């Protein structure tokens, strides 16, 4: 993997970590159960994507 490709993967990791954090924070503020469940699923999906990118390293 070239250094430029590594920078792309690191950038993607940062984005996925940010999205996961944001969805978790939003879910903690919601009172609607269905919407809260949806945002928690989004956080889980971004955690999974983060793991996939991390495994590229």
Query: Mind listing the pLDDT tens digit for each residue in 1-42?
Result: 899 988 998 999 999 999 999 999 999 999 999 999 999 999
Residue 53 has pLDDT above 90, yes or no: no
50: which residues sit within 8 A by CB, 6+ positions away? 13, 16, 17, 20
Burial of 4 (0-12, 13-18, 19+ CB in 10 A): exposed
Q: pTM of this prediction?
A: 0.85
pLDDT at residue number 26: 97
pLDDT at residue number 1: 82
DSSP 2-30: -HHHHHHHHHHHHHHHHHHHHHHHHHHH-
């Amino acid at each position: 993997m070239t250094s430029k490709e590594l920078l792309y993967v690191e950038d993607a990791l940062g984005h996925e970590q940010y999205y996961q954090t944001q969805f978790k924070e939003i879910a903690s503020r919601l009172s609607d159960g269905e919407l809260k469940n949806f945002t928690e699923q989004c956080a889980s999906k971004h955690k999974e994507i983060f793991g996939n990118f991390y495994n590229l390293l």
